[in-house]
Amino acid sequence: MAITDSIIGFRRSLKRKNYSRYTVRDYLSTLRRFVLWLDCPIEKVDRKKILAFIDTLLNARLSPKTINCYLDSIRSFYRYLQEEEQIEMENPVKSGYLLRLPKPLPRFLRDEEIGRLFDVINHARDRAMFFLMLRSGLRVEETAGLKLDDLDLRRGTIIVANGKGAKGRMVYISTDAHDAVMEYLRSRPPGRAKGLFLVDKGALKGKPISVRGIQKRLEFYARKARIRVSCHELRHTMATQLLNAGADLTVIQDLLGHSRVATTQRYCRVSNLKVQKDYYRAMEIVVQRTSPEPTTQTSPSGARPRTPGV
């Protein structure tokens, strides 16, 4: 089997399925490492060989999440060989091989941290970018990929054309995010670029800003504000704030573009003020209904009995 031709075919298959360029890049990178590690033909790989590769990755101190990414790409490659190249073989990567991952609670910004962050962001483009991520729940890749035509500022909506998993959705723009975007558009460099957020200086001036470019800007402001925050935590913050404001879980799921409501339910374990208020409201009723009335024993003469030893 010509492994190089198969990898090229696998790459084309991923593109036909509309995988993002980041996913295609990561799949091919991990697959190449696996192929270079192999000491046998690709079609001769069995379960023992996969387990040995997992051990190699563990010895290299890769995280469980990274190792699972390797296994996902290798499994997808063998599925491609089976289905598209019609090679009769067993897929050696079984679902049970995935490593168990910790499930940390989503981290979000407190109100005072949000104030500190935006106090140091004076650049019009950057304020617009990060307000949209905070108020509309956009992923960093979605923010970098926004086009002018995706915005309908009159209706206060954004069409996210290429969300995660190639799923589109509509999100909404808050008043403060709307003001920030309008301020940026007044200073946005003129030109034919369709992208919304553009590089404003250097050799790439006028080109759409990259994912890494957005991340580096937030890292700069986080250091300046002396807080810890990532692009994805802005999205977490929006979800937590909506939940605490009484928004329905399915509404938040739709706005974030989650395929499963279980993903959205993680925010309930973080800071659900609605649950807290409902608990105390209901518990007050329960206590009133079930608590025994205080009783006081009195002597036949009506005097309160003396406590022994007093």
Task: State yes or no: is 267 an active-site residue.
Answer: yes
Taking the chain (310 residues) in runs of 10, the rounded mean pLDDT of each run is 84 88 89 92 90 92 89 93 89 82 73 95 96 93 93 92 74 94 91 89 90 96 95 90 83 83 69 70 84 59 48
pLDDT at 310: 38
Q: For the stretch 246-261, what's the b/e string if a residue is b when 16 or more beta carbons lie within 10 angstroms of its beta carbon?
A: eeebeebbebbbbeee
Question: What is the rounded distance in angstroms from the CA atom of residue 118 to the CA atom of residue 113?
Answer: 9
Question: What is the rounded distance in angstroms from the CA atom of residue 275 to the CA atom of residue 271?
Answer: 9
Write down how long the chain is: 310
Q: The CATH number of the domain where 146 resides is what?
A: 1.10.443.10
Specify whether 221 is located in the same domain as 136: yes
pLDDT at 149: 92
Task: State yes or no: is 232 an active-site residue.
Answer: yes
3-state helix, strand, coil in the chain (%, to 5): 60, 5, 35
Question: What is the rounded distance in angstroms from the CA atom of residue 248 to the CA atom of residue 232?
Answer: 21
Q: Which of 107, 123, 147, 232 is catalytic?
A: 232
Range of 138's domain?
A: 111-228
Q: Which of 116, 139, 188, 217 is catalytic?
A: 139
Q: Which of 33, 164, 266, 274 is catalytic?
A: 164
pLDDT at 255: 87
List residues bridging with 169 in a β-sheet: 160
Predicted structure pTM score: 0.64
Enter the tokens of residue 264: 């959205």
User: Which residue has tokens 């905070």?
Assistant: 134
Domain count, the chain: 2
pLDDT at 294: 61
Does residue 33 lie within any of the structural domains?
A: yes
pLDDT at 130: 97
Specify whether 115 is located in the same domain as 223: yes
∠ at Cα 104 (99, 105), nearest 5°? 150
Q: Which of 235, 260, 281, 289 is catalytic?
A: 235
pLDDT at 184: 96
